[in-house]
Amino acid sequence: MSKSPDVFFIDDEIDLRLANEQTLELAGFQVRVFEKAEDALKLIDNQTGGIVVSDIRLPGLDGLALLQRLQQMDATLPVILITGHGDISMAVDAMQKGAYDFIEKPFSSERLVDTVRRALEKRRLVLENRTLKTELNAQNSLGPRIIGKTSAMKALKNTINQLADTAADILLMGETGTGKELVARSLHEHSQRRDKNFVAVNCGAIPENLIESELFGHEKGAFTGAETLRIGKFEYANHGSVFLDEVESMPLPAQVRLLRVLQERSLERIGSNESIELDIRIVAATKVDLKAAAERGEFREDLYYRLNVVTLELPPLRERREDIPLLFQHFLLVAAARYGKVAPAMPDNISQKLMSFNWPGNVRELRNAAERFVLLGDECGLQLDEKSVTSPCVPLTLPEHVEVFERAMIEQALSESGGVIKKTMELLGLPRKTLYDKMQKYGLDKRLYK
């Protein structure tokens, strides 16, 4: 199939049509010319990737009527109007009604090319953001929580679908910020337990002397300070789900009681002899190797094997880079709604810039970057290096701007070449040693692009 035109050029004067067609083609654009607006209109829809350049005065459907028709079809489609001297007030009025720009006759080729280039860039950004939003809306099999289209995320979502409505306890393994609690909530929300309580517990945040009381509850007077009956997290979550985050931080005595709950599906409050039957699902999460911790005596081996019936591993962002633009767009929309701002369009090269960063804080760090972008803009919000991520905003210097651009170009070439160095060299016009030196400078690994 032939590529869709970059420019739909409409003018009833044949000499002007041919001259401007040649000008735009020499500038690298693919152009299709028309004598009548009606003929061009038949080929344009809201998915058209190109832009429209039209004379105002045309036989039949004139430029202003064409603008109105195109606005009804897609208000974001850039329309550039060509005007004679007597049409300027008319063209200004048309811009107020949605035209992208107008060019007064006679005009230079540079003026035409520059205006078309800017309009096409705007169109590209609009369509890119529209595509990302469509993809976000399509992530409905597990609601808005699990976002991603890479093979790793598709496999994770398929597994969650299979396990969600079972009674199996699940162990989640993943680095900090990979979304373990969101996976636990998805398991709960897509099970028959969805109308019951989902209780999240960070085992590392509860003092050791309080964790058993928090989890299992206590009777009034069970110990000094126990002035009232307390219902523990497990009992409160009965018929629902319990999410135990950082389970590796749980003290060994509490691990003994947890093992009994897992095996017996019952508990006794501290200070009570009465057994309370439980119908709960437990989802535990860890960022460490529990088997190695058990071998070191830091985690009960029998509890590890009891939790390890079904294990889901959550990939870090650096292993699912293609999901980063989609996630970032999602977080932009969320942050804009939260702060009462208009979600900014994602500018050129930002996707490559985002995908080139290693994101040690994973999805949590990406979300924070999106919030900074909404609040501060590109210059201050996306200085993605180890020093600037947590430091106050300092505008980039010219050399830093050059480095950001250079890194993005190399990343793009590596992506297009599938990590093949020879092809990357050809795309960038660089000698092999220079390319390797720059890849080393920016910490780029060709294996990530295969």
Instruction: Count CB atoms within 10 A of the CB of residue 392.
Output: 6
Whether residue 35 sits in one domain with residue 179: no
Q: What are 384-439's pLDDT values in tens digits?
A: 654 434 333 444 456 765 676 677 678 778 877 878 898 889 888 888 888 988 88
- H or E element at residue 55: strand 51-55
In a domain, 134, yes or no: no
Nearest residue to 280 (alpha-carbon basis) of 443, 164, 168:
168
Whether residue 255 sits in one domain with residue 149: yes
Contact status, residue 449 vs residue 355, Cβ threshold 8 Å:
no
Amino acid at 418: G
Contacts of 26 by beta carbon, 8 Å cutoff, 6+ apart: none
Contact status, residue 83 vs residue 102, Cβ threshold 8 Å:
yes
Whether residue 45 sits in one domain with residue 58: yes
Q: What are 313-360's pLDDT values in tens digits?
A: 999 998 898 888 888 888 888 888 888 887 777 766 677 778 888 888
In a domain, 347, yes or no: yes
Whether residue 337 sits in one domain with residue 305: no
- Residue 342: both structure tokens together: 């208009």
Whether residue 420 sits in one domain with residue 334: yes
Whether residue 301 sits in one domain with residue 161: yes
Give the CA distances from residue 148 to residues 274, 366, 433, 450, in Å, rounded to whole numbers and listed in that order.
46, 14, 36, 19
Whether residue 370 sits in one domain with residue 260: no
Give the CA distances from residue 383 to residues 19, 66, 158, 364, 398, in Å, rounded to whole numbers and listed in that order.
44, 43, 35, 16, 13
- pLDDT at residue 419, as a whole number: 82
Nearest residue to 358 (alpha-carbon basis) of 407, 428, 289, 393:
407
d(CA 292, CA 309): 17
Whether residue 282 sits in one domain with residue 172: yes
Whether residue 293 sits in one domain with residue 171: yes
Last residue of a domain, one of 67, 99, 126: 126
Q: What are 225-235's pLDDT values in tens digits?
A: 888 999 999 99
d(CA 281, CA 264): 13
Provide the number of structural domains found in the chain: 3
- pLDDT at residue 282, as a whole number: 95
CATH number of domain containing 272: 3.40.50.300
CATH number of domain containing 371: 1.10.8.60
- Residue 324: both structure tokens together: 């980063």
- pLDDT at residue 299, as a whole number: 95
In a domain, 73, yes or no: yes
In a domain, 135, yes or no: no
- H or E element at residue 173: strand 170-173
Q: What is the residue-level pLDDT of the chain in tens, covering all 450 positions? A: 345 789 999 999 999 999 999 999 999 999 999 999 999 999 998 888 899 999 999 999 999 999 999 999 998 999 999 988 777 788 788 888 889 999 988 899 999 999 999 999 989 888 877 777 666 555 544 444 688 888 888 888 889 888 988 889 999 999 999 999 999 999 998 899 999 999 999 998 999 889 999 999 999 998 888 889 999 999 999 999 999 999 999 999 999 999 999 999 999 999 999 999 999 999 999 999 999 999 999 999 999 999 988 999 999 998 898 888 888 888 888 888 888 887 777 766 677 778 888 888 899 999 988 888 888 876 555 666 544 343 334 444 567 656 766 776 787 788 778 788 988 898 888 888 889 888 888 778 787 666
Whether residue 429 sits in one domain with residue 294: no
d(CA 101, CA 113): 13
- pLDDT at residue 142, as a whole number: 46
In a domain, 288, yes or no: yes
Whether residue 94 sits in one domain with residue 145: no
- pLDDT at residue 372, as a whole number: 86
- pLDDT at residue 137, as a whole number: 56
In a domain, 301, yes or no: yes
Amino acid at 192: Q
Q: Determine the number of helices (DSSP H) and then strands (DSSP E) in the chain.
A: 19, 13
What is the DSSP secondary-structure string of 119-140? Answer: HHHHHHHHHHHHHHHHHHHH--
In a domain, 1, yes or no: no
Whether residue 150 sits in one domain with residue 246: yes
Last residue of a domain, one of 97, 126, 155: 126
Contacts of 47 by beta carbon, 8 Å cutoff, 6+ apart: 127
d(CA 117, CA 24): 10
CATH number of domain containing 68: 3.40.50.2300
Tell me which residue range forms the domain holding 41: 7-126
In a domain, 248, yes or no: yes
- pLDDT at residue 275, as a whole number: 93
The CA R_g of the chain, rounded to the nearest whole Å, is 30
Burial class (CB in 10 A: 0-12, 13-18, 19+), 36: middle
Last residue of a domain, one of 297, 315, 333: 315
Nearest residue to 175 (alpha-carbon basis) of 19, 371, 362, 365:
362
- pLDDT at residue 135, as a whole number: 60
d(CA 371, CA 335): 5
Q: How, if at all, do strands 101-104 and 79-83 pair?
A: parallel
Question: Phi/psi class of residue 141: alpha, beta or left (left: φ > 0; alpha: ψ in -120 to 50)?
Answer: alpha
pTM score, two decimals? 0.58
